[in-house]
Structure 1
Amino acid sequence: KLNLMKKFLLFLILLNTLLINAQKKVIKLQNHLVNKELAKLEIDKDLKNASISFYAIDTKTGEIIAELNPNMSMVPASTQKLFTTATVLELSGTEYRYKTKIQYSGKIDKTTKILYGNIYIKGGGDPTLGSKYFYKGRQFDFIKHAITEIKKAGINSIKGRVIADASIYSYEIASPKWLWEEVGNYYAIAANGLTVHDNLYEVHFKSPYQEGKPTKISKIKPYIPGLKFYNETFSANTRNTSKTYIYGAPYTYTRFIRGSVPKGKSSYIKGAIPDPAYYLAWRFQQELDSSGIKCTKKANTIRLLELNNDTIKDKRITLKTIYSPKIIDIINKTNKNSNNLFAEHLLSQIGYIKYKEGSLQSGTKAIFNFWKLKGMDIDGLHLSDGSGLSRLNAISAKQFVFLLNYMKTRSKYFSHFYNSLPVAGKSGTLRSIGKNTIIVGNVHAKSGLVARVRAYAGYVKTKSGRELAFSVNISNHNCSSWEIKKKITALMLAMAALDI
């Protein structure tokens, strides 16, 4: 019986090997549209110095439709957000909400209505607090609602201050793997335990009509206390401020602005708030003052107090809890709008869920281990952030397709994940892709773009009724971003038109 069982197992293994090899041979013989388009890319003069990676499978059968350098580790740019959003969805589900708590310490004198203590804003890692993506036009209304609760508690004066507590996450609010040119700008913001107003401010310019002349800063919106600028921008014959950068480290208040501003126009750029937690404490205290509730001490943060060895261990009482939107709604904004801040918060939340440590390091470690346990070949997988901004990230096309296929075939949250993706010709970062072609509505994918990198990963519905999971990445091309987008769109068209 034992020998018979061994022979049967060997037969199954041999049969499986023969089937896999036969399948691969059939695919290589197929001269279909996708392989033809890949062949064009391989001889394209614009791509003679480029790295090209592509992989596509049928999600129902597992059949490999086409491949080109599928194991090559490539800089993923924002397609990396698929790893972040899929992982947090698997770990937390769709209904989780972040909590921000308004608390007080000390005692309230019922006669004088004086609080002998402090007001605390306890951050829960919510990236949407005061976000324009959810509360446009009423981004600071939550402060007014909190002050209403403070007054209801019988507080008309505070012998203390407002203290912001962002300690739930690491105080490292910029990845050490990001370029200096990016740190200080609105899109290079890591997670903060107490994020507010998308952690950004606007610098508005007045530019002279004459080219090559210095510009003037007309206003900062919202006002950030203590923030100073060296404005080294000049007027230029340009359409936008895409080549203007703000330079400055987190928790510091001197900024250098360099680049060009459209001549004869009013324009603005967006920067990262140096210390979001302190800004919120200051803003909250300003609004308390305006409402008639005076504080006797300057606003502060737990981080700053700890730096001065001033450890406060007050017993706190919660007056109000502010709930974020559901995490699935945050995931939708992350993928459709390619929101870096939301992605970095989701990364820290992954680390917090798995290791009770909300940080870049714990989050990337948790993602790595999660997919390894699911059976992904993690050789060549390198994660340095949650958004894909770092050029040190590296993911292969096969790894992307493994994730996409897992979500399709094994995840109970697939429909939520699928619906979070931009749709070709219709929504998000794919809105302008393939207008009036077969791919409109048939490609759901995440895009990625950094200097000399263009990438896409997602799903395609083909003419023959297949659903493909695919990943494509072209790096170090010698053509414009618009031209490489056109070449990849042709590859998407080929997949959608597939009739086999």
Structure 2
Amino acid sequence: MTYSRFLRRILAVAAVAAACFVPDTSVAAPSPVDTGGTAVEQPKPKKRTTTRKRSTAGRRTTRARRATPAVAPAAGWTRPRGASALSSDLGSILSRKEDGHWGAMVVSLTRGDTLFALAPDDPRTPASTLKMFTSVLALDRLGPNWQFSTDVLRDGAVGGDGTLAGNLYLRGDGDPALSKRWVPGPGLDAPMQELADKVAAAGIKHVKGDLVADASAFESRTIPDGWLSRYAGSGYAAPFSALSLNENIVVVAVYPDGRVVLEPATTGIPVENQVKVTGGGGSSLHIYRSTDGTVVARGSIGKRAAVRRLQLTVADPPRFTAGALRAALASKGITVDGQLRMGQTPANASLVASHKSPPISELIAAMNRESINHFAELLFRNAVRGPKRDTLGSAENGNALLQRFMTTKAGASANAVSVTDGCGLSVLDHVTPRAMIQMLAYAHKAPWSSAFHASLPVAGESELLRNRMKFTPAQGNLHAKTGTTNDVIGLGGYVTAENGEVLAFSFLFNGHDRWNARATIDRMGATMAAFSR
């Protein structure tokens, strides 16, 4: 290998260094049933939404990454003058033979002409760039100010002594923000504590009936088609439902005295504690979720050890969430005589308490900037329900709605988009680069366009693009959503050219040589930003 070729390879590796082995999304499970999971150490606050097995080649790449600066400019970009020069330069950048297939398109939204196209009508797996379609669908159907409401209702009368002669219902509205991330409070059960306080304020002290979890707004299936089974149990591929809490992650805390405590506290998950207390300060723990949903804790912990906290995905989100409400009610002295069960809220039930989510604009910003799959799945199904909330939130209905939207509003051809989820984890999803451009063009002119634009990471500055395209004309300029899996690298969004034109672009690579493909995309991003005519 010549020195110049070696240097180009090092620069390409450095340009993607900060993101290596931490893709923004991944592919996870074709089984419709999540069969269990093993606990992992509770992560630090920095959001990670995928994992990847380390191969020998991966270790070599890691060594190369550590030997190079953390951030490097996107080498090889140009300053094209004129449309033909831009097309030629982008074609030249893409002429490198990566092990895979490209689809690409660049259109000037200012002038309306196509500046570059490569296989624009060939379907490609989009990975997390699909979250832009979900964002646009939710914004178009519900508007940027829409809020979700998680409600507590009753079907009986409350006596003078505070006894409810009936059932209490927890009705889910598919709120993705039912977590401490959005609700202030000391624990992971903050949303349920808030609802319990409101139930107490309504004068209820005792419930003679059941606590009923109502997740009927969505289909009962909690894992979509096309999620690969090797990712089952991972936090970024947790099961979901219309009634979800803490992104359906439970923290298992093991104390030096042998106690095993779930955070948030919930009566909806049984715990089997087989932990033994030993001398010293060490610990050796194996914590996992069995196929029936029981959290099993085995191993040992020393009397002088620190508290160990590990996290697991939840097998039954509605039961987990309603169990957390029951525990919160108990902490306020409110007792429930009956069982915790699944069911539907009667039409004549009376509202007791509500928790409102932040507006959709804030939820979409979090989803796109951090690539949160859980948010995407719930927003996708909520878009189906629409403002009247009269349609079942399902993946099948979501695909039909998205295809109808793309053909009637964005001008796409039939079947240019076909999906089985809303986040892009599914290997069965496909979109064409042209369809992505048409979606971006529609969003650019929509009344809610500012909310959509603001949700996208910015090159060289924020979230998943923080360390990409630095020290180039794209820094602080290019707004886009990433997509990364083991076999996909994608980027789609907007960039303002040097002459002030707004360009929409879609770059989708399906293949194994994804890190070189990522460097190629960064060169194209910088080249578009430097374009003028």
Cα offset, 1:333, TM superposition: 1.2
SS in 1 for 2:532: coil
Distance between the aligned counterparts of 1:66 and 1:246, measured in 2? 50
Counterpart code for 1:397: P
CA contact (8 A) 1:382 1:395 kept: yes
Deviations 1:347-396 (A, max 9, x none): 11121128611111111110111111122123442211100000111111
Distance between the aligned counterparts of 1:95 and 1:200, measured in 2? 27
Q: Taking every aligned residue pair, what percent have the same amino acid on both sides?
A: 26
Distance of aligned partners of 1:446 and 1:134 in 2 relative to their CA distance in 1, 3 Å threshold: farther
Cα offset, 1:298, TM superposition: 2.8
Cα offset, 1:319, TM superposition: 1.3
Ranked by relative contact order (alpha carbons within 8 Å, sequence separation 6 or more), the top structure is 2
CA contact (8 A) 1:115 1:157 kept: yes
Distance between the aligned counterparts of 1:268 and 1:478, measured in 2? 37
Q: Which structure has the larger Rg?
A: 1
Aligned to 1:370, which of 389, 395, 405? 405
Query: Which residue does 1:280 correspond to in 2?
Result: 321
Distance between the aligned counterparts of 1:62 and 1:121, measured in 2? 50
Distance between the aligned counterparts of 1:229 and 1:50, measured in 2? 49
Aligned to 2:427, which of 391, 402, 409? 391
Distance between the aligned counterparts of 1:267 and 1:52, measured in 2? 46
Distance between the aligned counterparts of 2:308 and 2:531, measured in 1? 46
Query: Which residue does 2:91 correspond to in 1?
Result: 38
Query: Which residue does 2:481 correspond to in 1?
Result: 446
CA contact (8 A) 1:203 1:270 kept: yes
CA contact (8 A) 1:180 1:247 kept: no
Q: Does 1:350 align with 2:350?
A: no
Distance of aligned partners of 1:246 and 1:140 in 2 relative to their CA distance in 1, 3 Å threshold: closer
Counterpart code for 2:499: S
Q: Does 1:299 align with 2:349?
A: no
Q: What TM-score do the two structures reach when normalised by structure 1?
A: 0.77
Distance of aligned partners of 1:478 and 1:417 in 2 relative to their CA distance in 1, 3 Å threshold: closer
Aligned to 1:143, which of 167, 171, 192? 192
Distance between the aligned counterparts of 2:407 and 2:365, measured in 1? 25
Distance between the aligned counterparts of 2:196 and 2:316, measured in 1? 22
CA contact (8 A) 1:423 1:442 kept: yes
SS in 1 for 2:152: strand
Query: Which residue does 1:183 correspond to in 2?
Result: 232
Aligned to 1:423, which of 441, 454, 458? 458
Cα offset, 1:221, TM superposition: 4.2
Distance of aligned partners of 1:270 and 1:41 in 2 relative to their CA distance in 1, 3 Å threshold: farther
Query: Which residue does 1:323 correspond to in 2?
Result: 356
Distance between the aligned counterparts of 1:385 and 1:296, measured in 2? 39
Structure 1's consecutive aligned runs of 4 or more residues displaced over 3 angstroms after TM superposition are 133-139, 202-206, 217-224, 227-230, 245-249, 254-257, 265-271, 312-315
Cα offset, 1:159, TM superposition: 1.7
Distance of aligned partners of 1:472 and 1:270 in 2 relative to their CA distance in 1, 3 Å threshold: farther
Query: Which residue does 2:165 correspond to in 1?
Result: 116
Query: Which residue does 2:8 correspond to in 1?
Result: none
Distance between the aligned counterparts of 1:51 and 1:256, measured in 2? 45
How many corresponding residue pairs?
429
Query: Which residue does 2:126 correspond to in 1?
Result: 76
Distance between the aligned counterparts of 2:198 and 2:265, measured in 1? 26
Deviations 1:259-318 (A, max 9, x none): xxxxxx999775431112111221221222222222222322217xxxxxxxx8584211
SS in 1 for 2:229: coil
Unmatched runs of 5 consecutive residues or more in structure 2 = 1-79, 275-286, 298-305
Distance between the aligned counterparts of 1:183 and 1:485, measured in 2? 27
Distance between the aligned counterparts of 1:405 and 1:229, measured in 2? 55
Aligned to 1:473, which of 508, 512, 519? 508
Query: Which residue does 1:239 correspond to in 2?
Result: none
Distance between the aligned counterparts of 2:261 and 2:329, measured in 1? 24
Of 76-85 and 174-183, more deviation after overlay is shown by 174-183
CA contact (8 A) 2:136 2:452 kept: yes
Cα offset, 1:115, TM superposition: 2.0
Distance between the aligned counterparts of 1:136 and 1:144, measured in 2? 8
